[in-house]
Amino acid sequence: MDTEKRRIIVQEIEHWRRNRLLPEQYCDFLQNLYRTPEAEGAKPILGIPSDRIVNARPRTWLLIIAIVGIICYIGFYFTSFPEPLQIAVSAVLVLAFYLAGTRFRHRKPQLSFALLAAGALTAPGAAFYFLSGTEPRQFVYGLFFLMVALFWMATGIASRFSAFHFSGWGVLALLYGWLLHHSGSAAGMARLQLSWLPLGLVIGWTGLMLLNRSRQNGQVLLATGASLWLAPEIYGLLATELAPTGLQGLLAAKIAVAGLALYASRKKWIEWIG
């Protein structure tokens, strides 16, 4: 059988997997029958063939790093907007994410995952921000967002839709930051790093251990642990009185280090998440 016919069959099996027309173990078996080594190397990651990621030029990675950094810094100026404008922008952004994610749910599932996850994280994040000044019912708000996080995690695991599983962990991270802020236990730079980085390491290591037993859930935990790499600086800029210049410089350095590490180890992590 030629390569093109194998590619079409593998794509059809992926369609069966996404729509749960066959159990996952049957899809794995069929893919192992029809996938060639070349096709396996070209398996898409978030809609991009893995061989393109492996062979991407360094300037492409530098461009991605720069875009991520620009988005982070632009987000910090959000607080300078008037409050009605902040609410309007947040609502429109969440609605746009959900509408776009729903539209691409079947045609481009990877893009749909990213959009729905962004909307699911933006909504509680904005709620935390706007409710941060209301002191009387802090326990109620914390309990509410804990229930939301657990609901999203359970929904994502049961429906095998990673966007909501990942969003549940994101809300738990927001809740953890909220508790840190009110306990005052992360005042210094060193304590700030120690409050987040070991937690991300444990979550990421757990995800790595789960890859062979529950690949999708393991990937979510790996992504969650990796995301916490930048959490200390983002938390410090938003919720502490530490010098913003030092935090911004450290954030830029961490983004650069993460980009270089992803580029250097791209063959390994593509194998993990592929």
Q: Which of 68-77, 113-122, 131-140 has the lowest mean pLDDT?
A: 131-140
Residue 22 region by backbone torsions, left for phi larger than 0, else alpha for psi between -120 and 50, else beta: beta
Helix axes 138-159, 162-183, angle to 10 degrees: 160
Task: Please tell me which of 65-74, 219-228, 263-272 the model is most confident about, judged by mean pLDDT.
Answer: 219-228
Q: Return d(Cα 163, Cα 179) in angstroms, integer.
A: 24
Helix axes 58-76, 231-239, angle to 10 degrees: 20
Average pLDDT over residues 13-42: 68
Report which of residues 99 and 78 the model is more confident about: 99
Share of the chain above pLDDT 70, in %: 75
What sign results for the dihedral spanned by CA atoms 138, 235, 86, 144? negative
Q: Which residues pair with 44 in a beta bridge?
A: 49
Q: Which of 34-43, 53-62, 143-152 has the lowest mean pLDDT?
A: 34-43
* Mean pLDDT across the chain: 76
Average pLDDT over residues 148-169: 80
Residue 199 pLDDT > 80, yes or no?
Answer: yes
pLDDT band for position 116 (cuts 50, 70, 90): confident
**Residue 55: what pLDDT?**
66
